[in-house]
Amino acid sequence: MISIIIPVHNAESFIEETVASVKAQTYTDWELLLVENGSTDDSLRVCTLLSEGDGRIRVLQSNGVGAAAARNTGTVSAMGRYQCFLDADDIWRRDKLEKELAFCEARQAAFVFTGYEFADEKARGTGKIVRVPETISYKEALGNTTIFTSTVMFDRKKLPVKLMLMPKVDSEDTATWWQILRSGFTGYGLDEPLTLYRRSAKTLSSNKLEALRRTWSLYRKVEGFGVFKSMYYFVKYAVRAVLRRL
């Protein structure tokens, strides 16, 4: 079984469509954990309605504030052998789970991820596709932005739960991929755009600047790199990040 974890915070406008993309999967042996995370809109009610009549869907309350805490609540509650994250406004292609699981098993991998396509506010693909490498190591990931949260899959029999738990830092997802890879695991990339990454045109510029700030903080405060080593990886990261969003 695959455990799918969605942190839900003020997502009433998107969550039904996102859950529908899970329910439409060609692979059906899954559980969906909707982790409510301090919403002030109608998200909790919508999630509760979505869970009614489908025993595969559970609604949980986050044990802390923020996306990392919500995902960690899901991780410790998950019952499947495999685990995926999905953001509350993103969409999966119908064969995402089927293809990624087959890829994970064929590679006998603990950690895999896929390509994805940028989408507009209505989840319509823009044609801008992010390609991913066949494999990625810790050092390669430090200067590479290709691992996207809604595309990852873990084999919980191979990967210790403590490595899947996200630290409470800015860009907690990137910090998690780094801590997994730093521990000696290799990430395997399935180069197919199986996820639609929804983004708002109004926030693109601010998101770029904030992503750069957070990544610099990861190098300095989480990885403990000096200024010159941080700058080396930061320049590689920044160039690739900007090119992928043009």
Contact call for residues 114 and 194 (beta carbons, < 8 A):
yes
* Contacts of residue 162, Cβ cutoff 8 Å, sequence gap at least 6: none
pLDDT for 204: 46
The H or E element spanning position 233 is helix 227-245
What is the predicted pLDDT for the residue at 130?
Answer: 93
Q: Quick one: pLDDT at residue 203?
A: 45
Please name each of the domains of the chain with its CATH number.
2-201 (3.90.550.10)
Q: Cα separations (Å) of 55 from 30, 44, 50, 179, 207?
A: 10, 17, 10, 33, 37
The predicted pLDDT at position 237 comes to 84
pLDDT-flagged residues of the chain (< 70): 200-206, 241-246
